[in-house]
Structure 1
Amino acid sequence: MPIIVLTPRLVKSTTCPAGKDKVNIFDSHCKGLMLEVRHTGGKTFYMRYQDARGKTRQLRLADEQDVSLAQARQLCNQRRSQIALGIDPTADQAILRSVPTFADFIHERYMPFVKGYKKSWVSDDSYLRNHLLPAFGKMHLDEITKRDVIAFHHGMRTKDYALGTANRCLILLRYAMNLAVRWEIPGMKVNPTKDVALFEDHNGKERYLTQDEAQRIFEAVRQSENRMLQYIIPMLILTGARKREVLDAKWTDFDLDRKQWRIPTTKAGKPRHVPLSDGVLQLLDTIPHDDCVWVFANPKSRMPYVSIFCSWDTARKRAGLADVRIHDLRHSFASFLVNAGRSLYEVQKILGHTQVKTTQRYAHLSQDTLIDAANQVAKAVPLMLALPNRVDEVRLVRVEV
């Protein structure tokens, strides 16, 4: 490693000795400045220094064709000044190199995490593969900006995707980015989806059963070839539980003395307790036990059903309610509660919602309930009912004319 006074002419003329891959030449005029000359003819300026722990490090400054010797010396002096102030000039480069792409983060961190607790991870995987990864997969996390997110979100609308689909993609992206910030993934300090508003979607499907329709459903499932359907569907309507929560229920989850059902793992990843009505207790009492741990087990496999769609589809059509989805039974349970005068707080606790905002979408009162509520005002203020009769109205019109 020769140490000489580098000159512009020497920099241009120096070649790598035969039989060697490269040679390093140090500049005696500028401490730490080094010229690497390779057998291929390429030349690069480096700075060699010791970090705060006394380790020798090497920092690439620039290619010899891009800067002059004087500029290389100036860069070297600037970096040495940073080191003297306790600033590691390689730190920023190391951070940049460690920032993963969105695709790497999703495959290596996000998906392994959500698979461990989130039952809807399959849905996440679908939205990621079909929408988010094609848009952001090759970008490093610190390259994704708020402008990029808005362009993606609005772009889905121009591509004729449903507003709900665009919103779900944004919600998923926001959640993934929040995790990246929380986990202190290199390059992630601020979530780029922050303050990006969801579309107002007024086209969401909302279907609530009337009491008559619920009775028709009960009668239809009793005629189903799937004998367990006559227990599963009433359980959904009478508890407001999610389909998977019911299908995966075990006898040990029920405390019949305390009239309580403990659901071990919910959509939110936490256990919750559901109060059991007398109707549910009667229903459970009629279900064949057969020493099986699962309450609603498939009689053939003695395991939870993977799907009940076919038998449910037949039953709802038999009831003349082909538009009713299984999750609408949960909507209907909440609607029955609210129409019976129960508070949103009570509905929220029974359904296991973490936010009142979620519960409010289920709190649709029936038209009869709204009319009754409006009539309460008239009863409270009887003087308002002293309205002019038809004859008075005609007399007033004639006078005005």
Structure 2
Amino acid sequence: MTVTLLTESVVQALVCPADRQHWAVLDTLFCGLYVDVQRSGRMAYRLRYRARGRTRYLTLGDARIMTLEEARTEAREALRKVRVGMDPRAVLLPGAGPTIEAFFTEYYLPYVQTYKRSWKTDETLLRLHVLTCFGPRGMGELNGADIARLVGAMQTRGYAPATINRVLAILGYGYRLALRWKIQGISDNPVRYIRCLKEDNRIERYLNQKQISRLLISVRQSDNPCLADIVSFLLYTGARKSEVLNARWQDIDWTHQHWRIPHTKAGRIRHVPLSTGALTLLAQRQVTYPSQDNWIFTNPATGKPFVTVYYSWRKARKQAGLPDLRLHDLRHSFASFLVNAGRSLYEVQILLGHANARTTSRYAHLSPERLREAVDVIPSLQ
């Protein structure tokens, strides 16, 4: 962030530094007014102000089109509205409803925060893609062609189909809420005219016994004293990385031999049965670290759970000759082991905590040996 006296010549000469995505240049003459310079070359006048006890931002317009004097005039008018208790972002445009930025920051995000655990992801995707493209425009102005251009722009920048579809889902849900709430100026959902992109997100990576052996040797040599147990527990339980890193001793039921996960991706409490190997690992940790009565895998440097084990994991997987292996692939391997051992997809679904059987079906990778056994049941035709 840089502070300087803005002039037309200064604004038009601004270029975002190569090591940044955004660069904010504040005006010394008008408090709160700044130019948001993006690496892509886009520039926008924005206003930072306080309303209802929070810092808020208002996009005034494209700095390549709007003059500096026009930006200062609009900023001055916006602050007048703030002084009388109005939020300038929520002002309705003639016949076009609230601006995209006003609706999604004033209505959508506060609403989804009440129930959606991934609302921060929504906020990030909206800020990076939707607000930078449509922020100052009215909700009622957009049509299917506008949304199609957004999709095309994201494809050009190399975003994955899954990311683009997530943006479309958030934008479409916002319009459905606006229609449900009867927001003035909104009469249609332009996202419904756009087809989602085809996603090929099938997970193909899973470990065989030889690869597991190499991986376990490698993680046991790691400088991170907990990495080997974390990796082993992931393989024993098929749990998600975040669930294992935040596991607590109080959630281990030794009597019934299961692990209670209080905070899952689906937002429901889940109980994971513990195998003999998992119970042995936990018992050994209790003996080795008797003073750790809170988190199971405590970071010795902080006394709290690991935020990440990425760097030690990256080193270990390279040493094992598995440079592209993700921690989530251990969950996939767990499911594949069960399927190859003859367990049903329903059992795998319950153990992984999937609400939808279609999600579990991606993990049904049968080994070539089991496939050969399957075809051998066909009788000889000679």
Task: Please report the TM-score for the alignment, with normalisation by the length of structure 2.
Answer: 0.67
Aligned to 1:319: 320
Match of 2:237 among 236, 239, 244: 239
Matched, 1:170 2:168: yes
The CA distance in 2 between the partners of 1:176 and 1:368, in whole Å, is 49
2:99 to 87, 98, 101: 101
Deviation at 1:313, TM superposition (A): 0.9
Q: Equivalent residue of 1:376, what SS?
A: coil
| Aligned mates of 1:343, 1:111 — CA distance in 2 | 40
Matched with 1:302 is 303
Deviation of residue 372 (structure 1)?
A: 2.1
The separation in 2 between residues aligned to 1:376 and 1:343, in whole angstroms, is 19
Shift in Å, 1:109: 3.8
Q: 1:376 to 1:295 in 2, by over 3 A?
A: same
Higher-Rg structure is 1
Q: Which residue of 1 aligns with 2:359?
A: 358
Moved more, 295-304 or 269-278: 269-278
Distance across 1 between alignment mates of 2:309 and 2:248: 18
Counterparts in 2 of 1:148 and 1:318: CA distance versus 1, 3 Å? same
Amino acid at match of 2:160: A
Equivalent position SS for 1:359 = helix
TM-score (norm 1): 0.64
1:222 to 190, 214, 220: 220
Q: Provide the residue aligned with 1:126 in structure 2.
A: 124
Equivalences for residues 49-64 of structure 1 within 5 A: none
Change (3 A) 1:293 1:189: farther
Residues 1-400 of structure 1 mapped to structure 2, 5 A cutoff: 99-114=97-112, 120-177=118-175, 180=178, 191-194=189-192, 196-202=194-200, 206-287=204-285, 288-377=289-378, 381-382=379-380, 384=381, 386=382
The CA distance in 2 between the partners of 1:190 and 1:147, in whole Å, is: 14
Shift of 1:201: 2.8
Give the Cα–Cα distance (whole angstroms) in 2 for the partners of residues 373 and 207 of structure 1.
22
Corresponding residue of 1:45: none
Cα deviation, residue 189, structure 1: 7.2
Write the distance in 2 (CA, Å) between the matches of 1:114 and 1:289: 42
Shift of 1:247: 0.7
In the other structure, the counterpart of 1:88 is none
Alpha-carbon distance, 1:191 to partner: 4.9
Deviations 1:103-125 (Å, cap 9, x if unpaired)? 22332344445556655444433
Rounded Cα–Cα distance in structure 2 between residues aligned with 1:357 and 1:209: 22
Query: Kindly tell me: are residues 342 and 137 of structure 1, through their superposed partners in 2, closer, same or farther at Cα, counting changes over 3 Å?
Result: farther
CA distance in 2, matches of 1:209, 1:174: 39
Taking a change above 3 Å as real, the CA distance of residues 167 and 293 of structure 1, as seen in their structure-2 partners, is: same
Match for 1:363: what amino acid? A
Shift in Å at residue 355 of structure 1?
Answer: 1.3
User: How far apart, CA to CA, are the structure 2 residues paired with 1:226 and 1:345?
Assistant: 36
How far did 1:241 drift? 1.0
Q: What secondary structure is seen at the aligned counterpart in 1 of 2:233?
A: helix
- Closer, same or farther: CA 191–348 of 1 in aligned 2, 3 Å: farther
Q: 1:344 to 1:227 in 2, by over 3 A?
A: same
Deviation at 1:343, TM superposition (A): 1.6
Unaligned runs of 5+ in 1: 1-92, 387-401
Secondary structure of the equivalent of 2:191?
A: coil
The question of whether the paired residues in 2 share the 8 Å contact of 1:102 and 1:139 is answered with yes
CA RMSD of aligned residues (A): 3.0
For the residues of structure 2 that align with 1:177 and 1:259, how far apart are their CA atoms? 47
**3-state DSSP of counterpart to 1:133:** helix
Deviation readout 1:12-48 (Å, 9 max, x if unpaired): xxxxxxxxxxxxxxxxxxxxxxxxxxxxxxxxxxxxx
Are the equivalent residues in 1 in contact too, given 2:345–2:364 (CA < 8 A)?
A: yes
Which residue identity is paired with 1:374?
V
Aligned in 2, Cα 1:303/1:197: closer, same or farther, shift over 3 Å? same
Q: Is the 8 A contact 2:96 2:139 kept in 1?
A: no
How many equivalent residue pairs? 289
For residues 188 and 351 of structure 1, the distance between their equivalents in structure 2, rounded to whole angstroms, comes to 41
- Is the 8 Å Cα contact of residues 95 and 186 (structure 1) preserved in structure 2? no
Task: Give the partner amino acid of 1:337.
Answer: L
- For residue 319 of structure 1, report the CA deviation from its aligned partner: 1.0
Query: Quick check: 104-113 or 129-138, which moved more?
Result: 104-113
CA contact (8 A) 1:289 1:295 kept: no
2:256 and 2:188 mapped to 1: Cα distance? 47
Paired residues of 1:164 and 1:204 also in contact (CA < 8 A): no
Q: 1:333 to 1:173 in 2, by over 3 A?
A: farther
More divergent stretch after superposition (123-132 vs 325-334): 123-132
Letter in 2 for 1:292: D
Taking every aligned residue pair, what percent have the same amino acid on both sides?
Answer: 46
The superposition leaves residues 353-386 of structure 1 with CA deviations (integer Å, 9 ceiling, x where unpaired) of: 1211211222222222222222222xxx22x1x2
Secondary structure at the counterpart of residue 259 of structure 2: strand
CA distance in 2: counterparts of 1:270 and 1:195, whole angstroms: 34
User: Contact 2:234/2:331 (CA < 8 Å) preserved in 1?
Assistant: yes
**Cα shift at 1:155:** 4.0
Contact 2:314 2:323 (8 Å CA) reproduced: yes
CA distance in 2, matches of 1:257, 1:188: 57
Say if 1:196 and 1:232 are closer, same or farther in 2 by CA, change over 3 A: same
Q: Counterpart of 1:138 in 2: which secondary structure?
A: coil
| SS of residue paired to 1:212 | helix
Matches of 2:236 and 2:178 in 1, distance apart? 40
Superposition deviation, residue 204 in structure 1: 5.6
